[in-house]
Amino acid sequence: MLEVSDLQVRYSGIQALRGVSLNVGAGEVVALIGPNGAGKSTLVNAVSGLVKPAAGRILMEGRDLAAMDPWAVSKSGVIQVPEGRQVFPQLNVLENLQLGETALQGRPPAGGLEDVYDLFPVLKERSAQLAGSLSGGQQQMLAIGRALMGAPRFLLLDEPSLGLAPVVIAQVFAALRKLKSRGMTILLIEQNVRLALDLADRAYILDQGKIVLSGTSQELAADASVVAHYLGVMSE
Amino acid sequence: MNAYVLGYLPLFDLFLLHLGLAYSQWLVLRSGVFSLATVGVAGVGAYTGGVLVVTYGLPAPVALVAAAIGGGLVSLLLAIPLARLRGVYQAIATVAFIQIMLSLNNYAEKITGGAAGLNGIPKVVDTLTLAVCALATIYLMTAITGSRIGRAFDAIRQNEAVAASLGVSIEAHHRLAFIVSGALAGFYGALEAFHSYTLVPSQFGFPFLIAILSYVVFGGRNTIWGPIVGTALLIILPELARPLAEARMLVYGLLLILTINFLPKGVADTLIERIHAKRLRAKPAPAPAPTAGS
């Protein structure tokens, strides 16, 4: 479904991505893991059209996303849940969700508001509350719900566990598992490797702008170097 | 009507005229554009209206519509180079635009009368006309900002990258804000022309820009009440302090500094926010979900 080939991104001289290639098939959940500053968010932003690559191609079902404006990318059904939630604090929960519908433009909605409220009941309770007054976990749920309102065919999740309490992370990932069981295609960025490998079918490990390892989640979870580098002493 | 009320009618007219221009400024700020072009476009509208009536003998209503269209077009032209700029760079570019318009009106003596002014404009606009225009403007602004477009404006202002990644076209919405703001400025510029007998280029210069911007910053940038409250207070206050009326700009400046420091959201926006907060506290708080986040 998504094919990234030899992607290079530079920020005023600094090379953030040095020729990254990866692919995500329809219905697959693929994780992109790696340390801080590896270029994970840069890759997501390049796919979203927010960052223009210096070289390489980002093909989504044959269309080159790199040549499109960010709003055109999301209207084509490739929707990002940004790192750090980034809800609109001065708008209420419902208004935030309704903004997510902007990406529809002619495409039929997936489950709409009811589906989002079903997935995250707390959003229904708080629909009239300003998004800025929600807790971090609720904001993350709102950010995911907002993206779902645009009926994504391809969901980009940038660090959904960032800064959340373990019990809230479990809730967010339970919802993601539900999305996966429905056949949603997802590219998941995570620093929490155990969590990522648990959810994903396959994973890529990005380090200093390059893919250093890839494989199925089981393979990577069993890989001695992955365990040593990313799972550390917490592995059993 | 008694003489006391009649005495204040010119002040009320001034309020209505400036209110329209304040909304022109307010709309672009609301959509996340830091354009200050309103006054320059108002100048274009005023001269378009004035010249069409004085030189070409067109009826005033036709000239008003022409001024609105002209203002919208000029503003749209301005939007193209400004699309690449943000924040303070947009502000500087639009201040330069105001200066260019001012100079053009000065030098194009054959058309505008130059520094001597454009004279003999019929005064066809009365208080009632202005009041109807102001109400229509408030209605239009409420309709726009209460719609999907208004939400998109809010999203762009709060976080442009996220708005774009949700499918909100920044370019299209900014262009729309420029066109509507420009049409308003052009229209109210022409109203101003038909409300006085004469126009001079320097009228649409830097002091006027500061006045209009003050209304919005002082009143509030995000709610529909901001321009109304800001314009009303800043026009009435100097009158109440008659001895200070000569120092109107000084009073504006002081008020701006005080507002920015103590009510950074503006008088109306701050009040509305406090009322909302009070209402939320008055309501029984929803039982915190056992699952509430970190």
Q: Tell me what pLDDT residue A177 has.
A: 96
Dihedral over alpha carbons A62, A64, A70, A71 (to 10 degrees): -40
Q: Tell me what pLDDT residue B294 has.
A: 38
Whose tokens are 């030189």? That residue is: B55
- The confidence band for B290, taking pLDDT boundaries of 50, 70 and 90, is very low
- The confidence band for A236, taking pLDDT boundaries of 50, 70 and 90, is very low
Mean of all residue pLDDT scores within chain A: 92
Q: Taking Cα atoms as reference points, which of A96, A107, A102 lies closest to residue A144?
A: A96
Mean of all residue pLDDT scores within chain B: 90
**Cβ–Cβ < 8 Å for A157, A84:** no
Kindly state whether B147 is in contact with chain A, defined as any CB-CB distance less than 8 angstroms. Answer: no
Element at A142 (helix H, strand E): helix A136-148
Cα A113 from Cα A118, distance rounded (Å):
8
Tokens found for residue A125: 């309770």
Kindly state whether A29 is in contact with chain B, defined as any CB-CB distance less than 8 angstroms. Answer: no
**B107 lies in which domain range?**
3-204
Region B202-206: mean pLDDT is 94
Residue B227 within any structural domain of the chain = yes
| Domain end marker among B204, B235, B254 | B204
- The confidence band for B292, taking pLDDT boundaries of 50, 70 and 90, is very low
**A222 lies in which domain range?**
2-234
pLDDT digits (tens, 9 = 90+) for B96-153: 999 999 999 999 999 999 888 999 999 999 999 999 999 999 999 999 999 999 999 9
The domain total for chain A is: 1
A50 interaction partners in chain B (CB closer than 8 Å)? 161, 164-165
Residue B37 within any structural domain of the chain = yes
Residues 149-188 of B with CB under 8 A from A: 151-152, 154-155, 158-159, 161-171
Question: Do B104 and B237 fall into the same domain?
Answer: no
A150 and B161 within 8 Å at the Cβ level: the answer is no
Question: Do B46 and B190 fall into the same domain?
Answer: yes
Question: Do B95 and B226 fall into the same domain?
Answer: no
**Cβ–Cβ < 8 Å for A150, A74:** yes
Residue B51 within any structural domain of the chain = yes
Q: Which residues lie below 8 Å from residue B241, measured CB to CB, with a gap of 6+?
A: B251
Q: Tell me what pLDDT residue B255 has.
A: 79
**pLDDT more than 70, % of chain B:** 95
Is it the case that residue B293 has pLDDT exceeding 60? no
**Cβ–Cβ < 8 Å for B114, B108:** yes
The Cα of B23 is separated from the nearest Cα of chain A by a number of Å equal to 21
Using DSSP bridges, classify how beta strands A29-33 and A185-190 pair: parallel, antiparallel or unpaired: parallel
- The confidence band for B283, taking pLDDT boundaries of 50, 70 and 90, is low
Closest residue in A to B280 (Cα–Cα): A129
Kindly state whether A118 is in contact with chain B, defined as any CB-CB distance less than 8 angstroms. Answer: no
| Three-state secondary structure call for residue A7 | strand
Question: Do B21 and B119 fall into the same domain?
Answer: yes
Count CB neighbours of B67 within 10 A: 31
Q: Tell me what pLDDT residue B7 has.
A: 77
B155 and A163 within 8 Å at the Cβ level: the answer is no
pLDDT digits (tens, 9 = 90+) for A141-179: 999 999 999 999 999 999 999 999 999 999 999 999 999
| CA-angle at A24, arms to A227 and A182, nearest 5° | 95
Q: Which residues lie below 8 Å from residue A8, measured CB to CB, with a gap of 6+?
A: A15, A17, A18, A19, A20, A53, A54, A55, A56
Q: Tell me what pLDDT residue B40 has.
A: 97
pTM, two decimal places: 0.87
Q: Tell me what pLDDT residue B287 has.
A: 47
In chain A, DSSP finds a helix count (H) and a strand count (E) of: 10, 10
Residue B104 within any structural domain of the chain = yes
Amino acid at A116: V
Among the partner residues B166, B170, B291, nearest to A171 by beta-carbon distance: B291
Per residue, what are the HEC states of chain B? Answer: CCHHHHHCHHHHHHHHHHHHHHHHHHHHHHCCCCCCCHHHHHHHHHHHHHHHHHCCCCCHHHHHHHHHHHHHHHHHHHHHHHCCCCHHHHHHHHHHHHHHHHHHHHHCHHHHCHHHCECCCCCCCCHHHHHHHHHHHHHHHHHHHCCHHHHHHHHHHHCHHHHHHCCCCHHHHHHHHHHHHHHHHHHHHHHHHCCCCCECHHHHCHHHHHHHHHHHHHHCCCCCHHHHHHHHHHHHHHHHCHHHHHHHHHHHHHHHHHHHHHCCCCHHHHHHHHHHHHHHHHCCCCCCCCCCCC
Q: Which residues lie below 8 Å from residue B254, measured CB to CB, with a gap of 6+?
A: none
Tokens found for residue A231: 């799972």
Question: Do B95 and B22 fall into the same domain?
Answer: yes
Residue B293 within any structural domain of the chain = no
Tokens found for residue A79: 């929707």
pLDDT digits (tens, 9 = 90+) for B8-62: 888 999 999 999 999 999 999 999 999 999 999 999 999 999 999 999 999 999 9
Residue B96 within any structural domain of the chain = yes
The domain total for chain B is: 2
End-to-end Cα separation, chain B, in angstroms:
63
A50 and B161 within 8 Å at the Cβ level: the answer is yes
Using DSSP bridges, classify how beta strands A154-158 and A55-60 pair: parallel, antiparallel or unpaired: unpaired
Whose tokens are 């929707």? That residue is: A79
Residue B288 within any structural domain of the chain = no
Residues 234-263 of B with CB under 8 A from A: none
Question: Do B265 and B174 fall into the same domain?
Answer: no
For helices B248-262 and B206-219, the axis angle rounded to 10 degrees is 40
Cα A10 from Cα A1, distance rounded (Å):
25
| CA-angle at A9, arms to A8 and A15, nearest 5° | 95
- The confidence band for A235, taking pLDDT boundaries of 50, 70 and 90, is very low
Mutate to test the interface with A, among B29, B84, B159, B166 (most CBs of A within 10 A): B166
**What is the longest distance spanned by two Cα atoms in chain A?**
50
**pLDDT more than 90, % of chain B:** 73
| Domain end marker among B204, B231, B246 | B204
Residue B292 within any structural domain of the chain = no
Q: Taking Cα atoms as reference points, which of B73, B99, B60 lies closest to residue B201?
A: B99
| Domain end marker among B181, B204, B227 | B204
Q: What is the CATH number of the domain that holds A203?
A: 3.40.50.300
pLDDT digits (tens, 9 = 90+) for A1-10: 999 999 999 9
Tokens found for residue A39: 């270029």
Q: Taking Cα atoms as reference points, which of B50, B16, B41 lies closest to residue B177?
A: B41
pLDDT digits (tens, 9 = 90+) for A171-228: 999 999 999 999 999 999 998 888 999 999 999 999 999 999 999 999 998 888 887 7
Question: Do B251 and B116 fall into the same domain?
Answer: no
